[in-house]
Amino acid sequence: MEVRIGVQHVARELVIESPEDTDAITTAVSAALTGESKILSIDDDKGRRVVVPAEKLAYVELGEPGTRRVGFGAL
């Protein structure tokens, strides 16, 4: 699953490929936004953990990773 995280006062967004499902990430985001947790912590598919302070979150976008096309012709 592709997760895009916008951070306040930062020009670029964080893009993470995570093995977690939509429900697990949604639960983590809602816990961070409601104040149950002060941080948003998501593990990526390479075993790294991304931690963002909840007060600095601008947006979180969830979606499937796009397939990359190879070659010159469009099918």
What would the pLDDT profile of 55-69 be if each residue is shown by its tens digit?
999 999 999 876 666
User: What is the residue range of 43's domain?
Assistant: 2-63
pLDDT of residue 7: 96
35 torsion bin: left (phi>0), alpha (psi -120 to 50), beta (else): left
The mean predicted confidence, pLDDT, of the chain is 89
Residue 64 or residue 19, greater confidence: 19
pLDDT at 75 over 90: no
Report if residue 73 sits inside a domain: no
Report how many domains make up the chain. Answer: 1
For 4-8, 18-22, 49-53, which range has the lowest pLDDT when averaged over its residues?
18-22
> From residue 55, how far is each of 32, 33, 38, 39, 70 by CA, in Å?
8, 8, 8, 8, 40
Give every CB contact of residue 16 below 8 A, 6+ residues apart in sequence.
Answer: 2, 3, 4, 5, 42, 44, 50
d(CA 62, CA 22): 7
pTM of the model: 0.80
Report if residue 50 sits inside a domain: yes
In this structure, what CATH number is given to the domain that contains residue 11? 2.30.30
